[in-house]
Amino acid sequence: MAEALDPVFQIQRVYLKEASLEQPNSPAILLASEQPTVDIQLAVAAEPAAEGVYEVAVSATVHTKIGEKTVFLVECKQAGIFEIRNLPDEQMGPIMGIACPQIVYPYLRGNVADLISRAGFPPVHLSEINFQAMYEQQQAQQQGNGTTQ
């Protein structure tokens, strides 16, 4: 009966949940000689999918512009389904905010680079992310706002 209380952490599936690419100013913007600016935004979200099963998603938005005109805009969300059972509540936040995103993120990086290169641009390689620092920063912000998770 002790087996039922053993901690469980298993990856059920990693999948591309959402991807979009926009080039609203093509083909004219492709003839521009200036270097574009690149803005990259990342987000992590976790929600229950079933009893002891969670979906953790990492999203990236890559927006490149020349002046005020968009060269391309990529939005991509990579997700994973994880079975997580019999862990203390205080470990659930770090597992879903650090461990799960670290597993999903390499797939997101590959999909973003592939999508951009398939659109005819040099790939944008998302840099490595320290999800522990990101998680700790979010926790500090929430505590500063008087909310806890």
The continuous run of DSSP H or E covering 7 comes out as none
Decide if pLDDT at 148 tops 70.
Answer: no
Calculate what percentage of the chain has a pLDDT beyond 90: 80
- Burial code of 16-32, b = ≥16 C-beta within 10 A, e = fewer? eeebebebeeeeebeee
Those residues whose C-beta lies under 8 Å from the C-beta of residue 139, and which sit 6 or more positions away, are 93, 149
Quote the pLDDT of residue 144: 83
Position 107, amino acid: Y
| Crossing angle between the packed helical segments 100-118 and 131-144, to the nearest 10 degrees | 110
Domain architecture of the chain: domains with CATH: 2-144 (3.10.420.10)
User: Tell me: the pLDDT tens digits for 93-115?
Assistant: 999 999 999 999 999 999 999 99
The structure's pTM equals 0.87
In this structure, what DSSP letter does residue 30 have? G
Quote the pLDDT of residue 1: 46
Give the confidence band of 4 by pLDDT, cuts at 50, 70, 90. low
CA-CA distances (angstroms) from residue 13 to 51, 54, 56, 75? 16, 11, 11, 21
Residue 96 CA, chain-centre distance (Å), reads 12
The answer to whether the CB of 32 falls within 8 A of the CB of 72 is: no
The answer to whether the CB of 29 falls within 8 A of the CB of 96 is: no
Decide if pLDDT at 118 tops 70.
Answer: yes
The continuous run of DSSP H or E covering 5 comes out as none
Quote the pLDDT of residue 15: 98
User: What average pLDDT does this structure show over 86-98?
Assistant: 93
User: What average pLDDT does this structure show over 14-23?
Assistant: 98
Q: Output the average pLDDT for the chain.
A: 92
